[in-house]
Amino acid sequence: MHFKEIFVSIALGASALALTSTGASAETFDAPTPTRQANERGLQTAIFAGGCFWGVEAVFSHTRGVTSAVSGYHGDTADNASYDRVSGGYTRHAEAVRVVYDPSVVRYDQLLEILFSVVADPTLRNRQGPDRGAHYRAALIPVTAEQRAVAQSYIRQMGRSGVWDDPIVVRVEDHRRFYEAEEYHQDFAQRNPNHGYIRRWDAPKIRALRANFPQLYRARFRTG
């Protein structure tokens, strides 16, 4: 059973609460400010994979300029787009989040900086935090040529930055169809703030967003 599924099964039980009271906060990084800024107009859509989609969705739902953040699956077919299949490691899907944003408030390159500062470690292959498996990989899925150029530029910049001791392994993946996850996964952190996994792994990411990006932090969780 995966670490996340253990937390799901015990929910607010004593074991989960004990772990949240003793565990350290999630690691954060001083990711570099992108030198290549995105040139976009009007509402844009992007897809990000950065480990468990609960935390990715929660951080972007607290980001100013984001109008929608939806958890789902990306990388395989509709037949395999279910939590049981993906979490069991039977598919090529990654847990991912589709983000709609207003680039006049937050640009794509700024979303990348947030992702690799407070959400995902770009040096980890097929794992993030306590979760293991290719479905927890960190990946950038640009849906426009501009996003792809910015993503590739930022990956190169991260590699040169010296922020991380290990090599950058995050990759740009080709855009395929995005499949929305089951309803109970949507807005999970907002609906379940006392869930053991959220308290231990995802709440610290939101606090880091507020501390490190105060100009882009939004106290209100944007649902949907």
Please list the alpha-helical segments (H only) found in 94-136: 108-114
Conformation bin of residue 93: beta by default, left when phi > 0, alpha when psi is -120 to 50: beta
List of residues 6+ apart from 162 with CB closer than 8 A: none
Give the whole-angstrom CA distance, residue 52 versus residue 132: 10
Q: Which residue, among 130, 112, 109, has the nearest Cα to 122 in the 3D structure? A: 112
Whether the predicted pLDDT of 19 surpasses 50: no
For domain 29-189, is the CATH number 2.40.30.10?
A: no
Is 90 noted as a catalytic residue in this protein? no
Q: How confident is the model at residue 177 (pLDDT cuts 50, 70, 90)?
A: very high
Torsional class of 71: left (φ above 0), alpha (ψ -120 to 50), beta (otherwise): beta
Cβ–Cβ under 8 Å, residues 153 and 36: yes
Is a pLDDT exceeding 80 seen at residue 63? Answer: yes
Q: What pLDDT, on a 0 to 100 scale, did the predictor assign at position 27?
A: 77
pTM of the full structure: 0.90
CA distance 98 to 88: 22
Stretch 90-109: mean pLDDT = 98
Active site residue: 38, 52, 168, 208, which one? 52
First to last CA, the chain: 29
State the DSSP string of 74-88.
Answer: ESS-GGG-SHHHHHT
Q: How far is CA 117 from the centre of its chain?
A: 11
118 in Cβ contact with 25 (< 8 Å):
no
Whether the predicted pLDDT of 2 surpasses 80: no
d(CA 149, CA 90): 31
Categorize the per-residue pLDDT at 9 as very low, low, confident or very high, splitting at 50, 70 and 90: very low
- Is residue 31's pLDDT more than 90? yes
Q: What is the mean pLDDT of the chain?
A: 91
* Phi/psi of residue 18, nearest 5 degrees: -65, -40
